[in-house]
């Protein structure tokens, strides 16, 4: 029963946007959300972002929520970045990671489908002799694998690096704020 309940909570929260879940996670409103919900959010955010931001102090009653909201909004307004929105950066990071994986998949598929062309090119090298059929296949296979590796590595690491740079810059910006 308990497991079913956990699963239901998890599946319901999984339908929500990452931004929305981040908001709930950071607000840490224990009055509105149960521990099971927070466990599920933590799990979902870890799956989607690879890491989770720190939570605020837990809120246990409505009065505290109201006071905290007023205090926080004043402080947040003061420290709110002018030139970018942190949520947009988080969303971009997520898309960069997805794009990195998608480009690897595309590189693998396209190079595998081009194996015939690669083999024809190699065939040209041994046009005068038909004694090297196995060697032709091996060279074509090695070239295809190399193509896949080079194509995947260039896209994957560039995009991953960009995503990490954004994360680091955001952290640096956050640390530079007054009162943080």
Partner 1 sequence: MSEGDSSELFTAKHKRLWRIASIAKIFSWIILIYYIFLTVLSVLNFLNISGLRTIENVSTDFFKEAPLLAIQQTLNILKTFLTGSVFFLVLRAITFGLNMIIETDLNYRGKALEEEQ
Q: How far apart are CA 1 and CA 23, in angstroms?
A: 29
Shortest distance (Å) from residue 77 CB to partner 1: 8
Q: Binding string, 64-103, against partner 1, x = CB under 8 A?
A: -------------xxx-xxxx---xx--x--xx--x--xx
Contact 107, 156 (CB under 8 A): no
Residues within window 134-173 making contact with partner 1, judged by CB under 8 A: 155, 159, 162-163, 165-166, 169-170, 172-173
Instruction: Count residues near partner 1 (CB under 8 A).
Output: 34
Per this entry, what is the length of the chain?
180
Residues within window 16-55 making contact with partner 1, judged by CB under 8 A: none
Contact 41, 11 (CB under 8 A): no
CA distances from 167 to 8, 90, 92, 172 (A): 32, 8, 10, 9
One residue of 47, 129, 131, 176 binding partner 1 per CB under 8 A? 176
Q: How far apart are CA 131 and CA 23, in angstroms?
A: 67
Shortest distance (Å) from residue 92 CB to partner 1: 6
Shortest distance (Å) from residue 116 CB to partner 1: 8
Contact 9, 37 (CB under 8 A): yes
Measured in whole angstroms, how far is the alpha carbon of residue 98 from the centre of its chain? 6
Residues within window 114-133 making contact with partner 1, judged by CB under 8 A: 114, 116
From the list 2, 89, 10, 5, the residue with the least C-alpha distance to 45 is 10
Shortest distance (Å) from residue 158 CB to partner 1: 8
Q: How far apart are CA 61 and CA 65, in angstroms?
A: 6
Where on the chain is the footprint of partner 1 (CB under 8 A)?
Answer: 77-79, 81-84, 88-89, 92, 95-96, 99, 102-103, 106, 109-110, 113-114, 116, 155, 159, 162-163, 165-166, 169-170, 172-173, 176-178
């Amino acid at each position: 029963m308990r497991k079913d309940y956990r699963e239901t909570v998890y599946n319901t929260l999984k339908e929500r946007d990452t931004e929305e879940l981040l908001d709930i996670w950071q607000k840490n409103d224990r009055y509105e959300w149960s521990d099971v919900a927070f466990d599920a959010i933590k799990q979902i955010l870890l799956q989607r972002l690879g890491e989770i931001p720190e939570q605020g102090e837990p809120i246990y009653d409505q009065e505290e929520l109201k006071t905290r909201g007023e205090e926080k909004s004043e402080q947040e307004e003061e420290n709110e970045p002018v030139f970018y929105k942190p949520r947009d950066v988080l969303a971009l990071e997520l898309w960069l990671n997805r794009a990195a994986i998608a480009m690897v998949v595309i590189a693998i598929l396209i190079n595998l489908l081009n194996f015939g062309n690669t083999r024809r090119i190699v065939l040209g090298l041994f046009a005068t002799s038909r004694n090297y059929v196995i060697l032709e296949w091996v060279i074509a296979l090695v070239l295809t694998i190399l193509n896949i590796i080079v194509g995947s590595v260039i896209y994957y690491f560039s995009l991953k690096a960009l995503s990490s740079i954004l994360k680091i810059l955001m952290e640096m910006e956050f640390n530079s704020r007054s009162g943080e």
